Structures are given as structure tokens and as C-alpha cells.
């Protein structure tokens, strides 16, 4: 994964690959997406959503409703 990424380290390899291939390397990018949109990426499941939700909350961000 790109060293400039600030995504959670605990994400699974398939989720990391899915985000990299889709161009999502920064948490801020996910605040413009709904959880449902993120779940459409192949390799992304409920665990990745929980990890992203927690990481976003730590930065005062959230998924789009």
C-alpha cells in the first residue's frame, strides 16, 4: 500500500487491494461515500467497514449518509 495512505493498518489484504485499485488512499475520501458504496468493492466486507468507521470517527469524519 502507498506510504502516503492513512488507512487502518488492520485492513485485510483484499480490502487494501480494492481500495488501492479504486484510488482510495486517504480516509477523507471515504467521507464522500456511503457504506453501501464501499461495500460494492470486491474484497471489502463488514469488518473493513467497521475499521474504516472507527478510523473516520477518530478524525471527526463519517461516511456519507
Cell of 38: 464501499
Query: 17-37 as b/e, with b when 16 or more CB fall inside 10 Å?
Result: bbbeeeebbebeebeebebee
CATH number at residue 21: 1.10.150
Query: Is residue 36 included in any domain, yes or no?
Result: yes
pLDDT tens digits, residue range 41-61? 999 999 999 999 999 999 999
When the pLDDT of each residue in the chain is averaged and rounded to a whole number, the result is 94
Domain count of the chain? 1
Confidence category of residue 5, pLDDT binned at 50, 70, 90: confident
Indicate whether 33 belongs to any domain: yes
Residue 3: the pLDDT is: 54
Report the pLDDT averaged over residues 27-52.
Answer: 97
50 occurs within a structural domain: yes
Amino acid at each position: 500500500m502507498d506510504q502516503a495512505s492513512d488507512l487502518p493498518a488492520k485492513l485485510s489484504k483484499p480490502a487494501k487491494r480494492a481500495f488501492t485499485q479504486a484510488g482510495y488512499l486517504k480516509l477523507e475520501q471515504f467521507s464522500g461515500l456511503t457504506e453501501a458504496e464501499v461495500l460494492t468493492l470486491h474484497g471489502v466486507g463488514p469488518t473493513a467497514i467497521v475499521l474504516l468507521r472507527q478510523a473516520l470517527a477518530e478524525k471527526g469524519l463519517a461516511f456519507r449518509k
